[in-house]
Structure 1
Amino acid sequence: MENYENAEGLEMSWATAAIGFADRHWELLTGLPEVKKMRVTSADAELYAAFRAAFPDLTVGVIDEEQMKSKEGKAKWRAFLDGFVKRYVEDDYNFGTLLRVDSRGKYEETNTTLVPRGQFYVIEIARNLEGFNDEV
């Protein structure tokens, strides 16, 4: 079996892009007077409705990483992302993105997890609309 490794430059490029995206998101969250009005995508309403239909009981304030990243959780999220979100954020819906685990905290090593960008989008849309990002 061949051993595949990412080139160090590729990993550094990904990390730089992910941190830059997180920094821009944090600047928006902390700089806007009314986060509920912040648009994450051009299809926030559709994405939110589909997200809540697929995940009606998911609490977005504090993410349960174990549940989300369990075999069942991954399968449910993958079906949702591939079946719906992909239509709205086609270019980068699967790009690795940092997500704050606890919406009350900032981006730091102990409060982030890696998710596909489509998952980040729908969770942050829900956090905005449901008031979880108001505390930031």
Structure 2
Amino acid sequence: MAVENFGKDIGADGLLAAASVLERPAEEFVNDGMIEELWAIKAFEHAEIYFNLLSSVDPKVLRLTKMDDQLYKHFRETFPELNVASVTEDELKSTDAKEVWRAFCEIYKETVEDYNYATLIRLNSAKEYCESNSMIVPRVQFLAIELARNKEGHNDLIRTNFKPKKLQTRS
């Protein structure tokens, strides 16, 4: 079943039911293909919306959370040398990196909504989302890197190089 047709296959009621299931604690789930597919769809929809925002407005004025400044400051204190323009899977998911990132993310467990939600991030900030330029990370990791990209000018050319796309409605 293709991701773009998934919502059409189960309908609005099915999507609403699935959304409520995804809010349950992760410990309640085993490796269920349907749950993984629902997470992927939700992550893809978030990516579409976020990229449309980047394509539409100056990234420097985007507010991603209520605590953008604090999150950005903490990110740069923890990862001063990380080149956010282009990140690698190893920088975000190697054994050593996971340890540091896990400690960073857990600080926001109570303050950033859905801090651990599966979220797609672009590896290269100059390019759009695609299979070879995307990776799933926890939401707070996405927020930290994207805040840095926005504040440091790495997302500035998105509006020039890409136009907003009409979002597909899921029914």
TM-score of the alignment, normalized to the shorter chain, above 0.5: yes
Matching residue within 27, 30, 44 for 1:19: 44
The aligned counterpart of 1:88 is 111
The runs of 5 or more residues in structure 2 that have no matched partner are 1-28, 159-171
Question: Which of the numbers 107, 111, 128 marks the counterpart of 1:106?
Answer: 128
Gaps of 5+ in 1: none
Shift of 1:135: 1.3
CA distance in 2: counterparts of 1:77 and 1:5, whole angstroms = 24
Q: Shift of the alpha carbon at 1:31?
A: 0.8
SS in 1 for 2:156: helix
CA distance in 1, matches of 2:39, 2:63: 24
Letter in 1 for 2:70: E
1:5 Cα deviation after fit: 5.0
Give the equivalent residue in structure 2 for 1:79.
103
Q: Secondary structure at the match of 2:135?
A: strand
For the aligned residue pairs, the C-alpha RMSD in angstroms reads: 1.4
Q: Distance in 2 between matches of 1:49 and 1:12?
A: 34
2:63 to 29, 32, 39: 39
TM-score (norm 2): 0.72
**Alignment match, 1:120:** 142
Q: Structure 2 CA distance, aligned partners of 1:8 and 1:59? A: 34
Number of aligned positions between the proteins: 130
How far apart, CA to CA, are the structure 2 residues paired with 1:131 and 1:87?
29
Q: Percent identity?
A: 42
Q: Bigger radius of gyration, 1 or 2? A: 2
1:98 counterpart letter in structure 2: L
AA of the residue aligned to 2:42: A
Q: 1:10 aligns with which of 12, 26, 35?
A: 35
- Letter in structure 2 aligned against 1:11: E
**What secondary structure, in the 3-state scheme, does the structure 1 residue paired with 2:121 have?**
strand
Deviations 1:40-72 (A, max 9, x none): 111100000110111111110000221321111
TM-score normalized by the length of structure 1? 0.90
Moved over 3 A (4+): none
What is the distance in 2 between the residues matched to 1:87 and 1:123? 19
